[in-house]
Amino acid sequence: MRDFQRPGRSAVYANEAMAATSHPLATLTAVETLRAGGNAVDAAIAAVAVLGLLEPHMTGIGGDCWMLIQRAGDAAPLCYNGTGRAAAGAGPAVQRLLDSGAATVPQSHPLAVTVPGAVEAWDRLSTDHGRLGLDRILAPAIDLARAGAPVAPRVAADWARHVDLLQANDVTAQSFLAGARAPAAGTRMPQTQMCRTLSAIAKDGARGFYEGWVAEDMVATLKGLGGPHDLQDFAGHAGSYVSPSTATYRGTTVFENPPNSQGIIALAMLAMMEPADVAALGPDSAAFHDLIARASEAGIALRDRFLADPADDHGAPDGGLAQIMDGARLASASIAAGGRAEAAPGRPGGSGDTVYVSVVDRDQTAVSMVNSIFHAFGSGITCPRSGVLFNSRGTGFRLAPGMPGHYRPGLRPPHTLVAGMTGDGRRPVMSFGVMGGHYQAIGHATLLSRIIDHGLDPQAAIDLPRSMAMNGVLEVETGADSALMPRLIGLGHRVRAAEQPLGGAQAILIDWDRGVLIAGSDPRKDGCALGY
């Protein structure tokens, strides 16, 4: 039970419906959408659209998304892959970048921009599963773009760290800086161009984004920087329904996004953790953090070796899913007994920039949705007429040829984005997600273990300190007990204090026995959970 004499949050309980996001205005938008007759799909899209204005460094229509939808009575969720692909003519530009000696795709290079997949997904999902229509769903975002979204405290702190990136592009600087400075908390930031673009999408659906003046503006912007993108890359984009990756952890069925998403790594980590007596470890003990670190090191090594777009003929037809899970099962006994995997070299750390939304409606349909432009402010490239800020998802490709995940025309890059769901074989049990770049899969395994192994409610599990092993170093949040880092050093880890909070989580648990919803929202962000 929570100590009510110490700062903290209580889990939120409700009877009929619930939403949890990283910003109060987005959560309120989701709840108001539900009360207006919308369902969980409508509410999630409405909240994500608003978050593109409230947290423009994290997400927007220039990015990608994934969604899981599970209805009461369904054994498994539907899964939609709303991620974009590399330009069809990217080959020569990739070769030029290789010839220049580059080892990775630079964040602000036009090759960092893949065709944004989010808008097509919003349109398709609202048409197939929503009730209100995209025009009503996007109305709150259009109003907010016109009036100006007030900058929240955590958002202001994040914004201030990226002024150099914003100043490097004139249009981006004009759009996202106030007098050459990052806006302070409470500053209202109208986005006139974005208001016009969202209105076009509300009127014409995905065609209002991937065709016509918005598409022309996007292509002209990228071509002006030497990008290989053309109008057909945008007009031809389509997302797809896919089967979620699934595994069972101590009797709970866990669903994650399949490759090209790294969701499979959360399942791999759980497979490696299952032989261990995790319940005997404190949920914030050095032994628990050590187990998470060792499982994640092995999981990330498998990810970086095998994960790819299933369409990539340099990888496996399932995007590396079977190879990753086979590797996890082989490593499980060693990991549970205290063994270590060799850390994968050369992958960037950092928390990444993403938003995650969880919604459950009165019909007990659960939605788990993640939307992102990847790095903070994505590529830093903004279009002058439409206001679209492009993603940097192309940096997830490898430049070196011949390996899974190599940068090739028309392929999707390996993705950090993950949305999660648990079920009992006939209905959803928990919609959850942990935003934060490379931390996301690690965060999923950590959160699930704290709930399943230790019996914590979603809020208590979200609140506990986090750690992340990457590139041979174990980062530990500064809010952890002062004795934790020395104990982890004693267990053989190279440890340092995390410069920023690790990730940000939201979760809604359906307590079917008592007929209530229980939600948690991360105090590392500005958001909240609300229900009725």
Q: Mean pLDDT throughout 317-327?
A: 93
Residues 41 and 148 in one domain: yes
SS3 of 160, please? helix
pLDDT digits (tens, 9 = 90+) for 346-389: 444 444 578 999 999 999 999 999 999 999 999 999 999 999 99
**Two structure tokens written together for 58:** 């994290």
In total, how many domains does the chain have? Answer: 2
Residues 332 and 440 in one domain: yes
- Domain termination residue (choose one: 362, 396, 430): 396
Judge whether residue 236 has pLDDT over 50. Answer: yes
How far apart CA 95 and CA 415 sit, in angstroms, is 22
DSSP secondary structure of 366-381: EEEEEEEEESTTTTS-
Residues 296 and 188 in one domain: no
* pLDDT band for position 162 (cuts 50, 70, 90): very high
- From residue 332, give the alpha-carbon distance in Å to each of 120, 466, 469: 39, 22, 18
* pLDDT band for position 471 (cuts 50, 70, 90): confident
Structure confidence at residue 335 (pLDDT): 87
Q: Which CATH number is 427's domain given?
A: 3.60.20.40
> Which residue carries 């939120």 as its tokens?
12
- Higher-pLDDT residue of 400, 81: 81
Residues 324 and 179 in one domain: no
Of 353-357, 407-411, 523-527, where does mean pLDDT reach its minimum? 353-357
Q: List the one residue out of 410, 393, 308 whose CA is nearest residue 85.
A: 410
Q: In this structure, is the dihedral angle defined by the CA atoms of residues 477, 482, 488 and 493, taken in order, positive or negative?
A: positive
Number of other residues whose CB lies within 10 A of the CB of residue 242: 18
pLDDT digits (tens, 9 = 90+) for 181-191: 999 999 999 99
In a domain, 409, yes or no: no
Q: What percentage of the chain has pLDDT greater than the value 90?
A: 90
517 in Cβ contact with 11 (< 8 Å): no
434 in Cβ contact with 443 (< 8 Å): yes
pLDDT digits (tens, 9 = 90+) for 95-131: 999 999 999 999 999 999 999 999 999 999 999 999 9
Q: Which amino acid, 43?
A: A
Residues 250 and 295 in one domain: yes
In a domain, 218, yes or no: yes
Structure confidence at residue 217 (pLDDT): 99
Mean pLDDT of the chain: 95
How far apart CA 61 and CA 371 sit, in angstroms, is 9
In a domain, 75, yes or no: no
In a domain, 15, yes or no: no
Residues 50 and 95 in one domain: yes
How far apart CA 33 and CA 27 sit, in angstroms, is 10
Q: Mean pLDDT throughout 63-77?
A: 98
* pLDDT band for position 340 (cuts 50, 70, 90): confident
Residues 174 and 315 in one domain: no
How far apart CA 267 and CA 441 sit, in angstroms, is 8
Structure confidence at residue 342 (pLDDT): 59
Residues 337 and 219 in one domain: no
Q: List the one residue out of 248, 294, 255 whose CA is nearest residue 274.
A: 248
Residues 302 and 381 in one domain: no
Which residue spans within 229-387 are E strands per DSSP? 240-242, 245-249, 252-256, 353-360, 366-374
Structure confidence at residue 352 (pLDDT): 55
86 in Cβ contact with 407 (< 8 Å): yes
Of 261-265, 331-335, 365-369, 374-378, where does mean pLDDT reach its minimum? 331-335
- Domain termination residue (choose one: 396, 425, 449): 396
- From residue 406, give the alpha-carbon distance in Å to each of 98, 145, 400: 12, 37, 6
In a domain, 10, yes or no: no
How far apart CA 493 and CA 314 sit, in angstroms, is 34
The parent domain of residue 505 ranges over 242-351+417-531
Number of other residues whose CB lies within 10 A of the CB of residue 410: 17
Of 116-120, 179-183, 202-206, 253-257, where does mean pLDDT reach its minimum? 179-183
The residues near 198 (Cβ < 8 Å, ≥ 6 apart) are 49, 61, 138, 141, 142, 145
- Domain termination residue (choose one: 396, 431, 458): 396
Q: List the one residue out of 58, 148, 181 whose CA is nearest residue 525.
A: 58
Structure confidence at residue 275 (pLDDT): 95
Judge whether residue 169 has pLDDT over 60. Answer: yes
Q: List the one residue out of 183, 397, 219 whose CA is nearest residue 309.
A: 397
352 in Cβ contact with 415 (< 8 Å): no
Structure confidence at residue 349 (pLDDT): 42
516 in Cβ contact with 14 (< 8 Å): yes
In a domain, 150, yes or no: yes
Residues 201 and 304 in one domain: no
In a domain, 206, yes or no: yes
Residues 40 and 136 in one domain: yes
Residues 337 and 463 in one domain: yes
In a domain, 359, yes or no: no
Number of other residues whose CB lies within 10 A of the CB of residue 52: 27
- From residue 276, give the alpha-carbon distance in Å to each of 143, 295, 330, 446, 492: 51, 11, 14, 14, 19
